[in-house]
Structure 1
Amino acid sequence: GPGLRLRLVELDPEAQHKFYAVISNPLLWFIQHHLWDLAHAPDITRLEADAFENGYVSVNQRLADAVAEEVEERGGRATVMVQDYHFYLMPERVRARCPEVFLQHFVHIPWPAADAWRVLPPPIRVALFNGLLGNDVVAFHLRSSARNFVLCCEELLGLEVDLRRFTVTVGDRTVAARWYPISVDPGELEATAASPGVAAHERRLSERRGDHLILRVDRTDPSKNILRGFRAFDTLLDDHPDLVGRVTFVAFLQPSREDVPQYVEYLDSISRLVADVNLKHGTANWQPIELRLERDFDEIVAAYRSFDVLMVNPVFDGMNLVAKEGVLLNQSDGVLALSETAGAHEELGEHAVTLHPFDIQQQADALFEALTMGREERRRRLRACSALVRENDVARWLDEQLDDVRRLREALRQGR
């Protein structure tokens, strides 16, 4: 196939820290996942204002300059596909240098309604929106996020929008909002699942799993709602003492963003809660929760093949590919227990056991429902989920974007 050229951009370490560990995470991430406890946080101080100007703005400018140089080398009419919340300011800056560029920006996390953005001071908020509106297309995983984006442009910026066509008018330009649910590569995952390493892990897992295996696979991010998931499991064991010694909750958790204080505190809280649940319910030869903080993907794939229940209960998530990986690979008629606020619920929710991410008792009851569901019903649900993932794979996700980019780019050029 065609060769790819990678260009790295060197960043000032202090600017990179402000860009990533103050503004991108936690400030923007927490806004877009509804994680701030607004009575107490965030406080927008001179620290955040400085981090925005001398971190987020400066890094976006550095990247925009590098992209613009590449576009100019191609005659100024290249297509640029920007990824995610770290680079909201970049498109406007690229367009300022390259007015004939075609820009598509994929936002991989949820886009909340207008009031969530009022956490940010108006100058920062307006700068972020204006940056994104430098694109020709702003893309999301979900229709609801695309709709929220369009409505935010109307409510917060006073721009003319078309909710039928999902467009925003910016001067003499039209910006389109689109949605494309991301997915996985079934062939690659199934090749991994067929490897000897996975088979060895699967044998070891079967020796210690007990009658039932509940699984979760996550980064230690507050948006993943790990604490409430373990509290729900604690409640399940309280409500159904006959399950003590018979069900094991295996949690593969990848420590995440350890330079951000909120993430360090969250991991500490997880470790304490797991210790409490294991002390409360554990026996001499059984531990209710097995916590794994080392990521071995072969072992995770073995667990995907073996679970009885896969718990995916985020507070909010743009998509959550764990849900798709799990139902694709499972060989045990496993049940997906999926938060109604996970992006994957839009596709898989009909065949999952739905979780309400804030209701501990409901999640405990849903786990019990999933564990005690009849074999035929479990099999039917799993097959339906797996078929959806196969049909809507990552190749289709990319192809649909590229088809739209080609179509919209051509329409724009004819309009010029």
Structure 2
Amino acid sequence: MAETAQQPLVLVSNRGPVTFDTDGSISRGTGGLVTALTGLASHRRATWIASAMGRGDADRARAAGGRAFSVDSPSGGSYDVRLVVSDEVAYERFYSIFANPMLWFIQHYLWDQSNAPDIRSHEVEAYEYGYKLVNQDLADAVVEEIDGASEPVVMVHDYHLYLVPQMVRERRPDAFLHHFVHIPWSQSDSWRVLPTKIRDELYRGILANDIVGFHTRSYRRNFLQCCEDLLELEVDHDQGVVRIDDREVWVRAYPLPIDAKATRAVSRRARVREFEDELLRRRRDFLILRVDRADLSKNVLRGFSAFDLFLEQHPEFRERVTFMAQLMPSRTDVPEYREYLERIEALVAVVNHRHGTPDWMPIQLKLRDDVEEAMAAYRHYDVHIVNAMFDGMNLVAKEGPIVNERDGVSILSENTGAHEELGEFALTVNPFDVQALANAIHRALTMSVEEREHRAEGLRGIITLRDPGDWIDEQLADVRRKAAGAAAVDLG
């Protein structure tokens, strides 16, 4: 397949690059997936198909007659966007019952299997009459968008849309289908909580692709092993190939980089300076930082428990260090997430009461999403904690080190995707070992200037080695190779 200007590229995701308010105003879509795909859409002209996320999106979709329309993003760039309106009840079942929490919890190992999940008609109906229906709505839009096109390329994204590829392939077997999964792929036994019929349909949905991509080699290995264990398919682990229905599916790792230049540009904005002035005015000797969504997988509670333990074991640091945590509330419509946020606030109150003084609050908790405020903290941390239980990549682990001006030390969970690239120069922790994290905090705060410099330089070197354009080019190069009939190669 020779790439031409006429060859259409279609991106498909649950969330689009922009959202519309009911008054017609536009805001940038949120999340790491949108950040990644915005770079792809800027790199090459594409039509981006996504779900309408609210009444404003639905109104804009209807105004466009259900077709694609051009939109200028508030953060820059122009995109052709097609917003798909699904039945409200179906979408609620799709998103709040099946995709989140069911699939998200499986892929992040979050289920306490002695207690949950209890799969009953409620969950099965959410799959049949929610997840399937929304996937079908988006697949229909894809098929309509590529109607009459020669050799279209369709790039599907993430766990919300595992059924879309098969739905498209059944009607357009000539389309080249690529699927990138932005979250971890868990090991075989974690998937056995799903009824066999549902599990098989999900796997056969994603295996309808020509290429399946993940952030890390570890997730790639897990997926290949799942295909072998759960579907008894023929798998070539060396070449990263699954054979199904007389087809070969390539399974690849494409670690997502950040745009270092753009990130640094944000950190130099005037509003960032205002936050810096306030931060420096209140700063103690040391600053520990975490920037996260208040998601169960981010392991926030253990992070605060480790800091509590550190202060107990090293009282010489009391009143000398502040732990600043900027957390964005996440999925507050899901009961487990509301409860988790309440537990976070309660633990912070306990730690501050136990160790605080009239003029020193050990943990400074900010429940908001403000990128410029985060950038100010990035510039001045001494220790940056990313202790997620499991994480697809974690771009925060890459943003902090390239903005930081103090050779701050990164403490990084071995279960984040970023660890596969950055582990050599970070302090690695087991995210479940609270004592190990407390020890890592002490080591980071007492580390020599020379070691801090060495580690910080190493992190910056790795993070700036690739940019989002490289990530996109790597995937498109594999698309061209496989479509041209090239054989899979040994991945080493």
- Tell me the TM-score normalized by structure 1: 0.97
Q: 1:329 aligns with which of 381, 403, 412?
A: 403
Cα displacement (A) at 1:161: 1.0
Match of 2:365 in 1: 291
Distance (Å, rounded) in 2 between the aligned partners of 1:251 and 1:188? 23
**1:69 is the counterpart of 2:144:** yes
- Name whichever structure is richer in helix by fraction: 1
Match of 1:38 in 2: 113
Cα displacement (A) at 1:412: 6.8
Q: 1:112 aligns to what SS in structure 2? A: coil
Match of 1:180 in 2: 254
**1:409 is the counterpart of 2:470:** no
| Cα displacement string for residues 255-283 of structure 1 (whole angstroms, at most 9, x for unaligned residues) | 00111111111101100000110111110
**1:338 is the counterpart of 2:446:** no
Letter in 2 for 1:60: N
Distance (Å, rounded) in 2 between the aligned partners of 1:306 and 1:108? 29
Distance (Å, rounded) in 2 between the aligned partners of 1:261 and 1:393? 37
Cα displacement (A) at 1:30: 0.5
Paired residues, what number?
412
The farther-off stretch of 287-296 and 195-204 is: 195-204
Distance (Å, rounded) in 2 between the aligned partners of 1:376 and 1:310? 18
Q: 2:140 aligns to what SS in structure 1? A: helix
Letter in 2 for 1:24: A
Distance (Å, rounded) in 2 between the aligned partners of 1:355 and 1:150? 27
Cα displacement (A) at 1:73: 3.4
Spell out the pairing of 1:130-209 with structure 2 (5 A cutoff). Answer: 130-209=204-283
Distance (Å, rounded) in 2 between the aligned partners of 1:403 and 1:107? 18
Match of 1:100 in 2: 174
Match of 1:124 in 2: 198
Spell out the pairing of 1:332-371 with structure 2 (5 A cutoff). Answer: 332-371=406-445
Distance (Å, rounded) in 2 between the aligned partners of 1:167 and 1:263? 37
Match of 1:317 in 2: 391
Distance (Å, rounded) in 2 between the aligned partners of 1:35 and 1:185? 31
Cα displacement (A) at 1:201: 1.2
Letter in 2 for 1:58: L
**1:7 is the counterpart of 2:82:** yes
Match of 2:289 in 1: 215
Distance (Å, rounded) in 1 between the aligned partners of 2:402 and 2:284? 23
Letter in 2 for 1:21: S
Letter in 1 for 2:201: A
Distance (Å, rounded) in 1 between the aligned partners of 2:377 and 2:445? 16
**1:79 is the counterpart of 2:129:** no
Q: 1:168 aligns to what SS in structure 2? A: strand
Q: 2:132 aligns with which of 57, 63, 79?
A: 57
**1:249 is the counterpart of 2:311:** no
Q: 2:469 aligns with which of 375, 395, 404?
A: 395
Q: 2:111 aligns to what SS in structure 1? A: coil
Cα displacement (A) at 1:288: 0.4
Distance (Å, rounded) in 1 between the aligned partners of 2:146 and 2:166? 14
Q: 1:264 aligns with which of 328, 338, 343?
A: 338
Distance (Å, rounded) in 2 between the aligned partners of 1:36 and 1:204? 41
Cα displacement (A) at 1:159: 0.9
Match of 1:27 in 2: 102
- Tell me the TM-score normalized by structure 2: 0.82
Distance (Å, rounded) in 2 between the aligned partners of 1:412 and 1:90? 25
Q: 1:175 aligns to what SS in structure 2? A: strand
| Cα displacement string for residues 124-182 of structure 1 (whole angstroms, at most 9, x for unaligned residues) | 10010000011000100011111111111111111111111110111111101000111
Distance (Å, rounded) in 2 between the aligned partners of 1:302 and 1:4? 30
Q: 2:147 aligns to what SS in structure 1? A: helix
Q: 1:21 aligns to what SS in structure 2? A: helix
| Cα displacement string for residues 213-249 of structure 1 (whole angstroms, at most 9, x for unaligned residues) | 0000000100000000000000000000111111000
Letter in 1 for 2:363: I
Distance (Å, rounded) in 2 between the aligned partners of 1:214 and 1:395? 32
Cα displacement (A) at 1:203: 1.6
**1:89 is the counterpart of 2:178:** no
Distance (Å, rounded) in 2 between the aligned partners of 1:206 and 1:31? 42
Q: 1:391 aligns to what SS in structure 2? A: coil
Q: 1:19 aligns to what SS in structure 2? A: helix
Match of 2:3 in 1: none
Match of 2:61 in 1: none
Q: 2:292 aligns to what SS in structure 1? A: strand
Letter in 2 for 1:59: V
Identity of aligned residues (%): 53
Q: 1:383 aligns to what SS in structure 2? A: helix
Q: 2:82 aligns to what SS in structure 1? A: coil
| Cα displacement string for residues 67-90 of structure 1 (whole angstroms, at most 9, x for unaligned residues) | 111122314x20000000000001
Q: 2:238 aligns to what SS in structure 1? A: coil
Distance (Å, rounded) in 2 between the aligned partners of 1:22 and 1:231? 30
Distance (Å, rounded) in 2 between the aligned partners of 1:366 and 1:394? 31
Distance (Å, rounded) in 2 between the aligned partners of 1:259 and 1:194? 35
Q: 1:338 aligns to what SS in structure 2? A: strand
The farther-off stretch of 64-73 and 14-23 is: 64-73
| Cα displacement string for residues 101-144 of structure 1 (whole angstroms, at most 9, x for unaligned residues) | 00000001111111110010100100100000110001000111
Distance (Å, rounded) in 2 between the aligned partners of 1:106 and 1:26? 20
Distance (Å, rounded) in 2 between the aligned partners of 1:59 and 1:294? 30
Cα displacement (A) at 1:393: 2.1
